[in-house]
Structure 1
Amino acid sequence: MEPRAHHVIIGLFTVLAVSAALVFALWLGKSSADREWAYYQIGFDHPISGLSEGNPVLYSGVPVGEVLELTLDPANPSHVRVLVRVDKEVPIRKDTHAGLILANITGSMSVQFRGGTSESPVLEGNRNNPPLITADPSAFSSLLTNGEALIEKTEILLTNANNLFSEKNLENMASILENTRSATDSLLAQRAELLALMEQFDAAGVRAEEAAIKVSSVSDNANAILLEKVTPVLSSMDRALSTLQPALARLDNLTRNNEGALDAGLQGLGELTPAIRELRSALRNLNQFATRLEANPAGTLLGGSNIKEVEQ
């Protein structure tokens, strides 16, 4: 009797569980059918791998709908159009942003709406003519795209590395290293000669430095002589010539003004002639001294060798 009662209880529990599941499914279907939906089309200009029909649509992380259809843009097959439905009570505005987010670690993606201000008008999501919302770039998709590009570049780098370390290049590198080693051994063998040559260069540099010091000293001495002895003499001669010039001018005026008296007094010409001759001699000597001083200042002032001209 007891085994039959147990079977009856188990059967009754199973019937009740199935009935509850059917009632829940009917309620859920009725609730879904009773809800009002707004339809939107989201445009993606990049791949949307991981997104499929039935994936949830979120608004700031809260489920508000689902993905209905995925199609390619007829004008540009590289773009994707995703038709979604959203609870009509959720306001989707013109400044609302849409994008993809990672749903789980398996790579499944979800559509998510975010943003939208109360001042922006609400988009009317008609099923027959759903408004188009341009999706924002997906960080995850960009990461996948950049990862693929990085993998391609890594593959190219590895290929170039393999080409670099080919057998021919390795032989060339070995030959270069062998030549470098031979050149190094040759330099080491001639180390004594190189050291002697460097010492000679060092000694030549020292001598050149000493010669430069001597030349600088001679130049300083010559400059000092010119400044201390020649310059004062030239200044004195310039002052003497400046003083003599007015006297010669007065003498010229005197002779010009008294030309008649000089012609009349020929008896005084004999006394004036020696004085004029001496003055001319003095001027001639002064002119010769100035010429020698200009040609050889140091020799003239310091008493250099006197060179006499030989009359021909």
Structure 2
Amino acid sequence: MQNRSKKIRLGIFILIGTSILLFLIVYITAREFFRESDTYYVTFRDISVSGMETGSPVKYLGINVGTISKISINPEDITSIIVELALKPGTPIKEDAKADIVALGITGMKAIEIRGGTNEAKLLSPGSYIQAGSSLASEITGRAEVIAKKAENVLNNLQVFTHPDTLAQIITTFKKFSKLAQNADQAILKIDSLIAQNKQNLHFTLENAAKISDSILNVTHSLKETTEKINLLIQSDSINQIIGNTRDITQKLKESDISQLIEDLARVAKQTKELLEKVDDDINKGSKDFLENQEMLKATLRNLEEASRKINNNPSILIRKSKAKNLPDDLFKD
């Protein structure tokens, strides 16, 4: 009886466990089957997708956004592989985004990572094709080619560098550099000796240069002050008044009768010329009379001198009142 009850309990436990397991299997399968997703496609041409399997993750800048739902060969182009992606609804995929093949650690498993895309580009609608990017293998191959090319260039340069002619030129260049260094050393020693000998002169030269700099600075300040005064003078009312008066005079000259003014000036010049000629005649005539009067004055002085001499010699002449002959006053009576 006890064995039977144990068997019944064991059967019930197995039935319940099996039911729970079936329920979990159905639940997970149904969730994966009925889960909503946005489908996109990527076509890889002449690129190996080894290590990529259905269910491998799809990442967008490192974030899991879906899985690979299917991998198939394009029946119309056997060199290309079509990978179907099941992404979370609402994942923003831009038209300029690219799908790259990346490795998952060191296991050899591959995944898809979507990169690129700009804010200005339009969104791809579900069911569209995403541009295929590069794969890890192609990147390694490209880098290997670049490294090989650089290594080849290095080897070629080493071959050229180790050529006997090149080595001889390098040795000759080193010798020239050594000689140049010696000459430079000698030149520096000479310069040091010259500086030591002319230290006092250099000191005086520097002092004079400092004085000249101070003088230039003072002259600059003076010029600045003069410029400021000139600016103040230019901006003053006196200059404006002079300019205004000049403008008024110019305007009056424009409005006046220039021909009449010229005629008046010619008439005044003619009258002035006649006046000058008359003054010149009067001056000439006065000069002639002045010369005649001068001659008469000289004669009078001579007569006075002669009379003084006679009076001194013979004072009795004054008592006799003798009449002198040829007196200058007689000439005026005529």
Question: Is the structural similarity TM-score above 0.5?
Answer: no
Comparing both chains, which one has the higher relative contact order based on Cα–Cα distances under 8 Å and sequence gaps of 6 or more? 1
Q: Pick the TM interval, shorter chain.
A: 0.3 to 0.5
Q: TM-score, normalised by structure 2?
A: 0.35
TM (normalized to structure 1)?
0.37
